[in-house]
Structure 1
Amino acid sequence: MNSKHFTPAVTIREVAEDAGVSVMTVSNVLRGRGRVGEETRRRVLEAVARQGYRPNLTARALVERKAPTLALMLSCITNPFYPEFTLAANLSALKYERHLLVCNTDHEPDRGTSFLQQVAGSLSDGVLVANYGGLPIEELRALQQRGIPVVISVWELPDEPPGIPCVTFDSKGAAKLAVRHLVELGHRRIGAIIGSRKNGIHSARYAGYQEVMRETKIRRLASDERFTEDSFDDGYRAATDLLSSRPDLTAIFVSNDLPALGVLNAASDLGYSVPHDLSVVSITDIVPARQSRPGLTTVAIPTAELAEKGIGLLIDLMNGRATETTVIHTSAPKLVIRGSTAAPASISN
């Protein structure tokens, strides 16, 4: 059996001995501090390269009381939106020479609470929360009151800030774009599948749907609506139930892409041809929405911008350039038309 051999980590003292300087001089060179001559700097950097030295970031954080990391809290890493958000947030953090510690609460508040207690203010200088990370807003406010910088991104209620610095987008406007698209195609029998409770995280999207239906005087029945969880399987089940009881619907507005992809599968299994028999429109524009067949018509939200501005706001908050009431708005959502929507058959034929 082959055994693995591990080389002990090189210490800063060993680098100093190799370069013939003090430990403090090596530290100053690596941090870009103090007055160090060019010849000495060259010897230190050559010794660092020769020894393969890597700084102990945890030890540095304890000594300097400044962590090299930022914490990111997500509620469900299996939702394709969050990996896209995390990638953009990480790239933004790297520009500030920071790394991300990611916590997936999996909708378990206790898990998020434990993460914050262990990480916030010690291993990380601040916390970026996507949506609200599955935690009560009050708990995030309490963390802020302890002096820990906290920012919420993907906040969906621009007119109702959470009392915590946030980055927001017009989720109600996104829903209105989606539903108006169906109306403009000629649909008048429009159902809705909302990936939360009525007053839950998608409440503004539901309000946008309601507003367009009122404005256009299209009859809206409670039997045309389903409230479920924000997942593929729940979207599938909700659509199966809705279409089985209301087979006359010609279109469905879904509050998020992931359940909308479940709707496409349910429609196919029930014998509907999308978009000839049924149009489906949604919100977000995750990668699978572009890969589905037919492609999912959706309203794209500025995912990368939400992540980048969230990191930027967190850095500003940590440096005293933002306050607890700072609200940053992102660019407007945009309708992306793909193959899942078309005029109803009664008009197109």
Structure 2
Amino acid sequence: MPTLVEVARHAGVTPATVSNVLRNRGRVGDATRERVLAAIATLGYTPHLSARALAEGRAPTIALMVSSIANPFYPEFALAVENALRRSGQFLIICNTDGDPQTGRAYLDQIAGTLSAGVLVMNANLDFADLRATERRGAPVVLCMWERPHAEPGLPCVAVDFRLAGELAAAHLLSLGHRRIGVIVGSKPSGIHAARYEGFLDAMRAAALDGTAAPVRYARDTTQGGHDAALELLQTHPDLTALFTTNDLPALGAMQAAADLGLDVPRQLSVVGITDIRLARESRPALTTVAVPTVEAAELAVALLRELIEAPDGAAGVGRESRMCVASAPRLVIRASTGPVASGALR
């Protein structure tokens, strides 16, 4: 297998120049870059990641911690992260914790700072003390899709205003005349979807309605969780004309529950979600939802993490805990799962 030194000799440049071309760094003239790329192609050179890590003093990979790779949102986010990393010549390791803090802690102990130069954390149910310990070992951490832009978590983060997302979803149902609205929250009361439910309450207050009187079910953030919660809500409160759900998967499950009960969506029941995963567009009826800036948030997270990784010794820690990037505002996407209250329906 050809070495970097042999590529340099073939191109008539120094090994450092070859390294700069491979990493897209430094000032390399176009003609020189073309010679190096031609030499790489001719010799069939492939960079050795372990050797590169030793030479640069850090791993060429980034870890992404997620709570459940089975949730379609996380692969969509991971793809956006991978695309951003690929442009900088880095690679992605996905660590699925299954929502288990012990599994997450093991990943942090075994990967952060060795196999990965830094860690992106996406709702992985990890203790902040463990994340700060990871930082102290030299592997920066960035929280992705932090749901409260107005409350810094004490770790670098990329925030999305999910409270606004909840408000937009609820306001849409209210604009269609719905007043008997059931709520499905895809987390525990104090969990990651709490801000979305708070947005629902904001919209209800703005309409001079008591949002706390709306029946609520807390469910797993899955299609089955949404199905079971919706089935219970609709059987217990048959006068409901709409369901507000804090994520798309429970919303899709809610539509399945409506079908099981013989209810037409949206003529007899409107359903709205939050996130806008691909399945929301592909379901029938297509799901009305509030889209969040997934790709933008992924790119901001990668950029922030790279900045922290590449900061000079000592500089990375200055104000690190208060570093927050806020992504664009969520936006309502109206599709076929919502419609006006049927004539004669209770309000």
1:276 pairs with 261, 267, 272, which one? 267
- Is the Cα contact below 8 Å between 1:186 and 1:347 reproduced in 2? no
Once the 2 structures are TM-superposed, how far is the Cα of residue 267 of structure 1 from its aligned partner? 0.4
The one-character-per-residue Cα deviations of 1:199-257 (angstroms, maximum 9, x if unpaired) are 11101011111222233233446671100110011101111111111111000100000
Distance 1:120 1:100 in 2: 12
Distance 1:231 1:36 in 2: 50
1:120 pairs with 109, 112, 115, which one? 112
- Is the Cα contact below 8 Å between 1:274 and 1:341 reproduced in 2? yes
1:31 pairs with 19, 23, 26, which one? 19
Structure 1 residues 17 and 253, CA, compared in 2 at 3 Å: closer, same or farther?
A: closer
What is the letter of the counterpart of residue 56 of structure 2? E
- Bigger drift between 262-271 and 89-98 goes to 89-98
Task: Give TM-score, length-normalised by structure 1.
Answer: 0.87
- Is the Cα contact below 8 Å between 2:159 and 2:324 reproduced in 1? yes
What is the letter of the counterpart of residue 113 of structure 1? R
Structure 1 residues 125 and 188, CA, compared in 2 at 3 Å: closer, same or farther?
A: same
For the aligned residues, what is the CA RMSD? Answer: 2.8
What is the letter of the counterpart of residue 151 of structure 1? V
Matched, 1:341 2:338: yes
What is the letter of the counterpart of residue 95 of structure 1? R
Matches within 5 A, 1:253-272: 253-272=244-263
Matched, 1:80 2:72: yes
What is the letter of the counterpart of residue 174 of structure 1? A
Structure 2: where are the runs of 5+ without partners?
none
- Is the Cα contact below 8 Å between 2:7 and 2:43 reproduced in 1? no
1:331 pairs with 307, 328, 335, which one? 328
Distance 2:160 2:269 in 1: 29
Structure 1: where are the runs of 5+ without partners?
1-9
Q: Which residue of 1 aligns with 2:152?
A: 161
Once the 2 structures are TM-superposed, how far is the Cα of residue 47 of structure 1 from its aligned partner? 5.6
Once the 2 structures are TM-superposed, how far is the Cα of residue 17 of structure 1 from its aligned partner? 11
Structure 1 residues 347 and 248, CA, compared in 2 at 3 Å: closer, same or farther?
A: closer
Distance 1:189 1:37 in 2: 67
Q: Which residue of 2 aligns with 1:177?
A: 168
Distance 1:32 1:286 in 2: 38
Distance 2:159 2:252 in 1: 25
Count matched residues.
335
- Is the Cα contact below 8 Å between 1:15 and 1:48 reproduced in 2? no
- Is the Cα contact below 8 Å between 1:198 and 1:206 reproduced in 2? no
For 1:345, what is the secondary structure of its paired residue?
coil
Larger gyration radius, structure 1 or structure 2? 1
Distance 1:312 1:288 in 2: 28
Percent of residue pairs bearing the same amino acid type = 49
